[in-house]
Amino acid sequence: MMGSKVQYAVIGLGRFGGAVTRELFNMGREVLAIDANEDLVREYSAYSTHAMIANTTDEATIKALGIKNFNYVIVAIGDDIQASILTTLILKEIGVENVWVKAQNEYHHKVLEKIGADRIIHPEKDMGTRIAQHLVSQHVIDYISLTEEHSMMEIKATDKLAGKTLVEVNIRQRYRCTVVAIWRNAELIMTPLPGEVIQEGDILMMIGKKSDLTQFSEKEL
């Protein structure tokens, strides 16, 4: 799995961890799925680059997985707060740069803060897919899955896009995505014309295939 691509690992394949795993995989990402439950690992082998059975509270096991080299590790362990804390602690001790952790409650949150979790998540029912989008691009404001393949994204325009018209960026031809609206301050511009000039801070509401939207956010933001 090593290479120049950004790599993700998800530990814990419950509803939240499973949603993150599926979404990253659907976006064409390299994602390692890990759980102690053999049935879950078998299920997610179809929705990940690799799926492995492992007890991540054991430092030797984590080191053997080569997880130190991953860019992001998401600890989505369910009810076992102790396992979540131990896993997070080991990941930070071995030098994983970005460890994002699902917290069960405020006590859990405080402990995760103290041991150096980089981001602590209190997920709602459907938050997994949105977290996956934020992992890939910090410019994604919101995200709604429309079908298995298609989604709507709200993307904040950067200075790289500012000053260009929609036709100059050529989003439809180059990325097969459609800008259906632009939020500019408090104003909503519906079905903007090709000559509309993008301003820095504009929020582009776009519809397209998940993989195409991801490609746009990587290359243009």
CATH number of residue 180's parent domain: 3.30.70.1450
Let me know whether 13 and 102 are in one domain.
yes
Residue 165 has pLDDT above 90, yes or no: yes
Q: Are 112 and 118 in contact (CB under 8 A)?
A: no
What CATH number did the domain enclosing 68 receive?
A: 3.40.50.720
Mean confidence (pLDDT) of the chain: 90
What's the pLDDT score for residue 1? 41
Give ∠ CA 95-5-162 in degrees, rounded to 5: 105
> pLDDT-derived band of residue 2, with 50, 70 and 90 as boundaries?
very low
Let me know whether 154 and 118 are in one domain.
no
Let me know whether 112 and 169 are in one domain.
no
Let me know whether 184 and 96 are in one domain.
no
Does 76 map to a domain? yes
Question: Residue 122 is part of which domain span?
Answer: 7-133
Residue range 24-74, pLDDT digits in tens: 999 899 999 999 999 999 999 999 999 999 999 999 999 999 999 899 999
Residue 3 has pLDDT above 80, yes or no: no
> pLDDT-derived band of residue 115, with 50, 70 and 90 as boundaries?
very high
Q: How many domains does the chain have?
A: 2
Residue 178 has pLDDT above 90, yes or no: yes
Residue range 136-163, pLDDT digits in tens: 677 888 878 788 788 989 999 988 999 9
Residue 125 has pLDDT above 50, yes or no: no
Of the three residues 133, 160, 182, the one that is the final residue of a domain is: 133
